Amino acid sequence: DTEVTQTPKHLVMGMTNKKSLKCEQHMGHRAMYWYKQKAKKPPELMFVYSYEKLSINESVPSRFSPECPNSSLLNLHLHALQPEDSALYLCASSQHYRVDQPQHFGDGTRLSIL
């Protein structure tokens, strides 16, 4: 079982909907990440939070809005998405935002935009 929990597992939404993805970890990790993965492609980094502060935004469109309300929780708020945003969204965490530490991934949320 993964120690990074993502909900929901699947989400179908229309282009005008607003929804949120949730990620939780209880390993005491202080760095958390959002990745997007299209079919048969490797994950692409979207955002990094370190100590609940946004450290990296990989030029992600504003229709994706991350939030880190506390050290265990990471949200991704979605609004006015496009069909090309359909993908597997993965959350990851590491003990600190340091190069020598492995990242641990959740099972992802499969997002489909109608």
Partner 1 sequence: KQEVTQIPAALSVPEGENLVLNCSFTDSAIYNLQWFRQDPGKGLTSLLLIQSSQREQTSGRLNASLDKSSGRSTLYIAASQPGDSATYLCAVRDEAAGNKLTFGGGTRVLVKP
State the residues that interact with partner 1 by CB under 8 A: 2, 4, 6, 41-43, 45, 48, 56, 88, 90, 92, 97-100, 102-108, 110
Question: Shortest gap between Cβ of 34 and partner 1 (angstroms)?
Answer: 12
For partner 1, give the closer residue by CB, 12 or 15.
12
- 64-70 sheet: strands from edge to edge: 4-7, 18-25, 73-79, 64-70
Q: What is the DSSP letter of 23?
A: E
Q: What's the closest the beta carbon of residue 80 comes to partner 1, in angstroms?
A: 26
Which of 26, 41 has the CB closer to partner 1? Answer: 41
- Reading phi first (left if > 0) and then psi (alpha if -120 to 50, else beta), residue 55 is in alpha
- Nearest residue (CB) to partner 1, 76 versus 90: 90
Cα gap 57→50, rounded to integer Å: 12
Question: Please, what is the minimum distance in Å from the beta carbon of residue 13 to partner 1?
Answer: 18
Quick one: 83 or 99, whose CB is closer to partner 1?
A: 99
